[in-house]
Amino acid sequence: MVKTIEPKKVEEKLANSEKLSIIDVRKDEEVAKGMIPGAAHIPLDEIPERFNEIPKDEEHVMVCRSGGRSGKAAQFLQEKGYSVLNMSGGMLEWNGQTEPKK
Residues with active-site annotation: 64
**CB of 84 closer than 8 Å to CB of 55:** no
Residue 21 vs residues 97, 98, 99: alpha-carbon distances, Å: 23, 25, 26
CA 70 to chain centroid:
5
Residue 90: which of 13, 36, 29, 19 has the closest Cα? 36
In angstroms, the CA 99 to CA 5 distance is 19
